[in-house]
Amino acid sequence: MTFKENTAFLSALQQRVSHPRLESPAPNSDQMASCYRAAFRAPDHAWLRPWRFVECQGEQRLAMGSLIAEAMQQEQPDLTAAQVDKLVNGPQRAPLLIICYAHLTDHPKVPASEQLLATGCALYGLSLALRALGFGSVWRTGASCYSRAVHNKLGLREQDQLVGFLYVGTASAADKSVPELTQNDFVSQFGRP
């Protein structure tokens, strides 16, 4: 990469934002393949490749919403009708929903925490790649992400762990303004107060 290309790349990273309002079109299969190739370059101790992605599009999103709502009702039987409707319709917020989970492996040198971090890096890399192609995304978690009932309904293994739901599409609004953060707020030098 040339310095000019590096500067443009760095600028794009510095301007990343989430897009909670998404509409069609979603990336096509070739664009998604390109984005996944970027995601799969996440740091990964021992090459365990713990990241897994499940795509939901079209009518699959409604089926996923129903699955999540049913699972959440098992854990929270006092959910109101409005709360259940929100769960059912949640995946409809974007033309593409990607469920990400860590496929955790017992390994003598790589604890589950490192595998979770690698999966989070892959999901973040996926969101950056989507932005590079002009698409928006928002990474959500919430109670359904941490629900054992949702986990079980998705057919995940006991040791697997949901990391998040990535909603993907075309941003329906301009990037929101985010306050500029500086290293003085978050970075210190070793040995200095």
Total number of domains in the chain: 1
40 exposed, middle or buried (CB, 10 Å; 0-12, 13-18, 19+)?
A: middle
- β-partners of residue 138 are 167
The phi, psi pair for 59, rounded to 5°, reads -65, -20
Place of tokens 């290293």: 183
In a domain, 171, yes or no: no
**How far apart are the C-alpha atoms of 41 and 19, rounded to whole Å?**
24
E strand segments, the chain: 22-23, 51-57, 96-102, 136-140, 161-171
In a domain, 2, yes or no: no
In a domain, 13, yes or no: no
Q: Could you give the percent of the chain with pLDDT greater than 70?
A: 97
Domain of 43 in residue numbering reads as 19-157
Per-residue model confidence as pLDDT tens digits over 104-151: 999 999 999 999 999 999 999 999 999 999 999 999 999 999 999 999
- In the predicted model, is pLDDT for residue 25 greater than 70? yes
- In the predicted model, is pLDDT for residue 1 greater than 70? no
Of 61, 29, 56, 24, nearest in space to 171 by CA: 24
In a domain, 182, yes or no: no
In a domain, 170, yes or no: no
Neighbours of 161 (CB within 10 A): 19
In a domain, 168, yes or no: no
Of 54, 50, 16, 36, nearest in space to 138 by CA: 16
Domain CATH code at residue 119: 3.40.109.10
In a domain, 7, yes or no: no
Of 100, 116, 126, nearest in space to 48 by CA: 116
**How far apart are the C-alpha atoms of 65 and 67, rounded to whole Å?**
5
Contact 104/50 with Cβ under 8 angstroms? yes
Q: Which of 10-24, 116-130, 144-158, 159-173 has the lowest mean pLDDT?
A: 10-24
Residues in the chain: 193
In a domain, 119, yes or no: yes
Judge if pTM exceeds 0.85. Answer: yes
